[in-house]
Structure 1
Amino acid sequence: MCSSRYLPVVMIFLAIVSTAANLLLLFPGLTYTYLVENHVTPEATWCTGIWASGFVVLVAVRGFASNNAKNGCCHFRADMLCRIIYSCVAVLVAGLCFQFNCTGLTKGPQCLHNGTEGLQWERPLKIKNLNDPSYLYMPERWASACEEPRNVVVWNIVLFSTIMAVNVLQALFCVVQVLSAIHGLVFGPGKKKVVHA
């Protein structure tokens, strides 16, 4: 199964990207003061890009990297069954991470906002009525929505979107791995073709 050769490397790269994006979400403006003062978007502090899309998916990759050359049909099928289980866990975790980060993206960042009662820390771009359009479709509001941290709206949009894109790719690769493992489970290891010169 040629897909298994490069899949662990790709999945590790995606986990690193997700972890880095979530770490950056914790430090808007590349400063630690907002995190210390608890002025960071709650979905960023849940760190799903680190523990879910990062660590748990890396654990699942262990099943992808197992040896296909095990002796015997039973060993091969047991390996394929393990791959299915690991891949299904990774798909579930990637989906969970996507949902958390989608919530963070749609609610907007927590920031110092000049509201009706003066400057206060809140989520000014959060949709209050179901009929209201999302701030994501109104880029003209992004610059004026928050006083601090600077450019936090774009910061959150880019980083949450990055984690969500990683989640989609992780889930897609894992579904391909599940289908490949089901094929191996049903049809066995198959015969290797001998090519004569």
Structure 2
Amino acid sequence: MCVAYCLRCVGVALVPLALLCILTNFLLLLPNLQLRFLLEGHVTSEATWATGLWGSGFLMLCQLLYSSLALLASGFCCLVSCTALAQGPLCLYNSSTGPEWGVPLQPIPGRFPGYLYNSNVSVLSVCVEPRGVVQWNLVLFGVQGGCSALQTLICSSNLLNVLLGALLGPGCLPSNKVVPVSV
């Protein structure tokens, strides 16, 4: 039963990835594990979209029923995570007019390639508050993006497997005979 075996393997692979995406999204909502940044609206907008919760989290746990939707959702979560990595976090930083909330590390065409392409270590200390938010977002959006990219690949193979199962039948072997066990 190739199809059944493959579905079992896919399920076993997707569950830990979904739980990891749920955990990382909760952590992204709570920089420094403090709720006040979320309540004050000082959390990166991509984190508040909660794609790790619904896209690569809960929908992955229902993958047998919603494999097509899960493929789109995990792909969207991967795209949002990569966008958030490229843009940089929302943080309090020192601008020319004083402390200001914004996204100071985002790429500016022709002037600043973005913090991901800058080897200067001082870029990581641009954000004053929440402390360490650049590394926080970098690691957690990186993990979430990687997990959701892997989920996208697994869901694609799952859809292909389901289609092949529907076309070729539930077993890969031509012989599906029940053989008595000799005692």
Aligned-residue Cα RMSD (Å) equals 1.9
1:180 matched to which residue of 2?
161
What CA distance in whole angstroms lies between the structure 1 residues aligned with 2:110 and 2:22?
Answer: 32
Q: Quote the offset at 1:109 in angstroms.
A: 0.6
Q: Quote the offset at 1:141 in angstroms.
A: 3.4
Q: Quote the offset at 1:130 in angstroms.
A: 5.3
**Using a 3 Å threshold, how does the CA distance of structure 1 residues 193 and 136 change in structure 2: closer, same or farther?**
farther
Higher helix share: 1
**Using a 3 Å threshold, how does the CA distance of structure 1 residues 62 and 177 change in structure 2: closer, same or farther?**
closer
Counterpart selection for 2:148 from 155, 158, 167: 167
1:64-123 per-position Cα deviation (integer Å, ceiling 9, x unaligned): xxxxxxxxxxxxxxxxxxxxxx32221111111112222211111111101101111111
1:80 matched to which residue of 2?
none
What CA distance in whole angstroms lies between the structure 1 residues aligned with 2:113 and 2:122?
Answer: 12
Gaps of at least 5 residues in structure 2 are: none
Indicate the larger mover: 99-108 or 113-122: 99-108
Q: Quote the offset at 1:129 in angstroms.
A: 2.0
Counterpart selection for 2:42 from 39, 43, 46: 39
Percentage of identical aligned residues: 41
Q: How many residues align?
A: 174
What CA distance in whole angstroms lies between the structure 2 residues aligned with 1:150 and 1:131?
Answer: 26
Counterpart selection for 2:17 from 14, 18, 21: 14
1:24-70 per-position Cα deviation (integer Å, ceiling 9, x unaligned): 001111111111111111111111110111112222x244xxxxxxx
8 Å CA contact 1:135–1:141 kept in 2: the answer is no
Counterpart selection for 1:50 from 31, 50, 53: 53
TM-score by length of 1: 0.80
1:192 matched to which residue of 2?
176
3-state SS, counterpart of residue 109 of structure 2: coil
Q: Quote the offset at 1:131 in angstroms.
A: 5.9
Structure 1 runs (4+) deviating above 3 angstroms are: 193-197
